[in-house]
Structure 1
Amino acid sequence: MTLFGLSEPVIRLLAFSTIFITLAAIELLAPRLEREEMRGAFKSRRWVTNLAMVVLSSVALRIVFPLAAVGTALWAQSQGYGLFPMLGLPLWAAGIVSFILLDFAVWLEHVVSHKWPWLWRIHRMHHADTGFDLTTALRFHPLEIVLSMFWKAAVIIALGVPPVAVLVFEIVLNGAAMFNHANIKLPKPVDAVLRLIIVTPDMHRIHHSTDPRETDSNYGFNLAIWDRLFSTYTETPRRGDTGIEIGLSEWRDKRTASLGWALALPFRFAPKAKPKDTSDQ
């Protein structure tokens, strides 16, 4: 697929690079949290691991699912599959509805990945990052990326999503995920307005809290409506925006920044919780 004379991979790479460089610069100039995990040698280890995940996931996706999302849409279009072609919706209407429904599908997949234990074992690698910046948005296990693509492909085929709508959605979703994982500080009034429509960093950071009650909220990656609509919205973390503890309570050391450790996490058992000391009670 080409747009403005550029192929899909080139368009996506240009969009990714522009958004990544812009957010990285803002993180450097106006960080939200100043912690060891977000600076120095630890940050470098995290970035190497998180960026390596993008490469590994891309390779796995091309091997297992070479069509990817846009290719699937092109194939479905050539076959005349999907609800929208059957209804005869014009391109603009099909595009808008597709964007909204695809966003809901991603939100729903995210919720399910927390609720089903075998999916959580894979997804928890994303949450194991004890830092929180734009590279956390890229830290997904290759298994999860492949499974996610099968889910998106099924939705795309069922709806008959226009290929251009899929391309736009994929670019926006990727950019939105990097934005709401970014370690940037937005003025409170700006954040309050933005989160009525889209997911902001302060809103999504709550989802990465070690507190399970907070992790089980704010699932959105792009549109903010779904968490409000399904009562999974948390406005502020219990420890405050700067006091929030990030990661998984089971693993709180620097191993989480290791690529090998992260790749093996779905196959690890969580350490048993230590009994509380009641000797002083």
Structure 2
Amino acid sequence: MFEQIDINLLRMASFAGIFLLMALLEAGLPRRELRNGRLKRWPTNWGLILLDSLLVRLIFPIGGVGLALLAVDNGWGLFALAGWTGDTSRIWPGLVAGLITFLLLDLAVWFQHLASHKVPLFWRIHRVHHADSEVDATTALRFHPVEILLSFVWKGAVIVALGGPVEAVLIFEIVLNASAVFSHANIRLPLRLDRLLRFAIVTPDMHRIHHSVIHRETDSNYGFYLSVWDRLFGTYTEDPEKGQQGMEIGLGPSLTPRAHSFPFSLAIPFLNIPGRRNGGKDQ
């Protein structure tokens, strides 16, 4: 059931499907008029996405689901210590374990995102994501390779530490990719639908605020899928100060305009570039 090739194909197919759907909706129902279009931004964004994918496959061929399989087979993790054997044939114990695993993995991703803003070293790397001058479906996966590798190590460590159901990890991986593309998409949702969805999940209008140049707005709305963590920990912002149309995206004039360059984007973590960071100082 969990042959690696099947898992890879499933994840690729789900990502391709959600990306194509969001790209079509962006073309037909855009939320913001892009000042810097796809031809200017997408080559660099796609270059980073392809480089990240290649490095992860080369360095960590086993993947998150493979780690979950190892943990269950070897009795590793908190669930094993609590007496759960990995048997999902009994629906209720398996369902509860799966739900807990999903929630804790989503919380772990939220915490990692928070740390990437609060820890100066991590922020230097994470700036590559925020340097994009617009937010659309490709921004969802525009990350520096170093951040992608660190992210995999963190997520893998949490997966092994939990030792939860493999099915839950697979579902989480698919949902995380899909929700990242959805929350970054430049699509217009009816206001009432957006507000309704926000009670459970992160919407594009909610996450776009996180990409504002205004510090207090960037320092909010850290969620990728569930919106509950930002509400629970006091990092939720409902609307941007200048509105969705007037909000400026990126990291300001000292960095954002040059981020359309692929070589410059790769170099961002290693350069001392004037401009604010979430630690409150300039660098």
Structures share a fold, TM > 0.5?
yes
What residue number does 2:2 align with? 2
What residue number does 2:51 align with? 56
How far off its partner does 1:252 sit?
5.3
Rounded to whole Å, the distance in 2 between the matches of 1:124 and 1:96 is 32
1:86 aligned partner, one-letter code: L
User: What per-residue deviation string (whole Å, max 9, x for no partner) do you get for residues 59-86 of structure 1?
Assistant: 2112322222111111112211011123
Rounded to whole Å, the distance in 2 between the matches of 1:91 and 1:150 is 26
Rounded to whole Å, the distance in 2 between the matches of 1:240 and 1:28 is 21
Is 1:31 aligned to residue 26 of structure 2? no
Identity of aligned residues (%): 52
Rounded to whole Å, the distance in 2 between the matches of 1:47 and 1:8 is 27
Instruction: Choose from 88, 93, 96 the match for 1:93.
Output: 96
User: What per-residue deviation string (whole Å, max 9, x for no partner) do you get for residues 131-176 of structure 1?
Assistant: 1101000101111111011111111111102222111101101100
1:111 aligned partner, one-letter code: L
CA contact (8 A) 1:207 1:219 kept: yes
CA contact (8 A) 1:16 1:174 kept: yes
Instruction: Choose from 209, 213, 222 the match for 2:212.
Output: 209
Question: Cα RMSD between the aligned structures?
Answer: 1.7
Q: Which stretch of the first structure deviates more once superposed, 76-85 or 133-142?
A: 76-85
Is 1:102 aligned to residue 105 of structure 2? yes
User: What per-residue deviation string (whole Å, max 9, x for no partner) do you get for residues 29-81 of structure 1?
Assistant: 010001221x3xxx223112112212111121123222221111111122110
What residue number does 2:184 align with? 181
The normalised TM-score by structure 2 is: 0.91
1:176 aligned partner, one-letter code: S
Rounded to whole Å, the distance in 1 between the matches of 2:44 and 2:120 is 24
Aligned to 1:35, the other structure's residue is in SS state: coil
CA contact (8 A) 1:250 1:271 kept: no
Rounded to whole Å, the distance in 1 between the matches of 2:196 and 2:150 is 34
**After TM superposition, which residue ranges in structure 1, 4 or more long, deviate above 4 angstroms?**
none
User: What per-residue deviation string (whole Å, max 9, x for no partner) do you get for residues 5-25 of structure 1?
Assistant: 971000001101110110100
Instruction: Choose from 111, 115, 120 the match for 2:118.
Output: 115
What residue number does 1:239 align with? 242
CA contact (8 A) 2:131 2:256 kept: no
Distance 1:116 1:250, change over 3 A: farther
* Residue pairs, 1:1-281, within 5 angstroms: 2=2, 7-37=6-36, 39=37, 43-89=38-84, 90-251=93-254, 254-271=257-274
What residue number does 2:90 align with? none
Aligned to 2:129, the other structure's residue is in SS state: helix
Distance 1:208 1:169, change over 3 A: same
User: What per-residue deviation string (whole Å, max 9, x for no partner) do you get for residues 91-147 of structure 1?
Assistant: 221111100000000000000010000000001100000011010001011111110
The alignment covers a number of residue pairs equal to: 268
How far off its partner does 1:253 sit?
5.1
Q: Which stretch of the first structure deviates more once superposed, 43-52 or 26-35?
A: 43-52
1:83 aligned partner, one-letter code: L
Aligned to 1:242, the other structure's residue is in SS state: helix
Q: Which runs of 5+ in 1 are unaligned?
A: 274-281
User: What per-residue deviation string (whole Å, max 9, x for no partner) do you get for residues 197-235 of structure 1?
Assistant: 000000000000000110000000000000000000001
The normalised TM-score by structure 1 is: 0.91
Rounded to whole Å, the distance in 1 between the matches of 2:258 and 2:124 is 17
1:12 aligned partner, one-letter code: R
Aligned to 1:114, the other structure's residue is in SS state: helix
CA contact (8 A) 1:191 1:200 kept: yes
1:136 aligned partner, one-letter code: T
What residue number does 1:278 align with? none
Aligned to 1:247, the other structure's residue is in SS state: coil
How far off its partner does 1:250 sit?
4.9
Aligned to 2:107, the other structure's residue is in SS state: helix
Rounded to whole Å, the distance in 2 between the matches of 1:211 and 1:243 is 12
